[in-house]
Amino acid sequence: MIATVLFYVASVLALIFVLVPHEFAHAFVAYKNGDPTPKINGRLTLNPMKHFDPIGFVMCALVGFGWARPVPVDSRNFKNYKLGLFTTVIAGVTANYILAFVFYPLLRLCEIYLGNDIGSYFLKQFFLLVFSYNLSIAVFNLLPLFPLDGFRVLESLTKPWNKVRQFLGNYGQTILLVLILESFVCRAGSNLLPALAYFDLLGYVMRFATDIIGWPIKALWGLIL
């Protein structure tokens, strides 16, 4: 019981180190590209309350995938439109990957030097969740579905009349919600019907994030720790 409570506390705290830097990075890079909109709207800050979206936060805590409040950006203010749009969009996932890189050695140090008491368990879970959440959110956000960053990348590389872009813009949010719901149902139901775990589509995305995208981080720090 105590371990379960500590796990969820660690999960909530870990999300602060995932969602907040992601949105702040968008705001900071947009501002540096010449757009004052994020600063005007109070988003050029690390204050969690300025960035959290209640539904996205709950989804992230439940299934490991979610979102924060999108940072308002007016790309017409960019000094260089295409470069500004691309760098602003990619800033969030870049911040997440950097944080995964920074927190992984902290996890390894805890695994090496700490024992199995409650405090050690909490720290290990916290660092593990910060590492895995940052990777999964980075990969999740690169899915080319509106309103995720992947769709914005597609916007920066294609013309407005592109049929694929139009389809993903019109139906991306619906597809995204279906994927999140499907993942949640499969995870919740796998205790009663283990075969459901094989149909957890976003679960494959998370494993790809931690096992494949996270492999260079593990390999590099593995040479040191």
Of the candidates 23, 111, 155, 182, the residue annotated as catalytic is 23
Rounded to whole angstroms, the Cα distance separating 140 from 108 reads 25
pLDDT in tens, 60-115: 666 656 677 889 999 899 999 889 999 999 999 999 999 999 999 999 999 999 88
Please give the model's pTM, rounded to 2 decimal places.
0.90
Where do the structural domains in the chain lie, given as residue ranges? 2-222
Residue 6's pLDDT is what? 86
Tokens describing residue 24: 């702040």
Say whether 111 is catalytic.
no
**How does pLDDT run across 156-187, given as a tens digit for each residue?**
888 888 899 999 999 998 998 898 888 888 88
CB environment 182-212: b (16+ within 10 A), e (fewer): bbbebbeebeeeeebeeebebbebbeebbee
Confidence of residue 33 (pLDDT cuts 50, 70, 90): very high
CA 15 to CA 187: how far, in whole Å?
Answer: 20
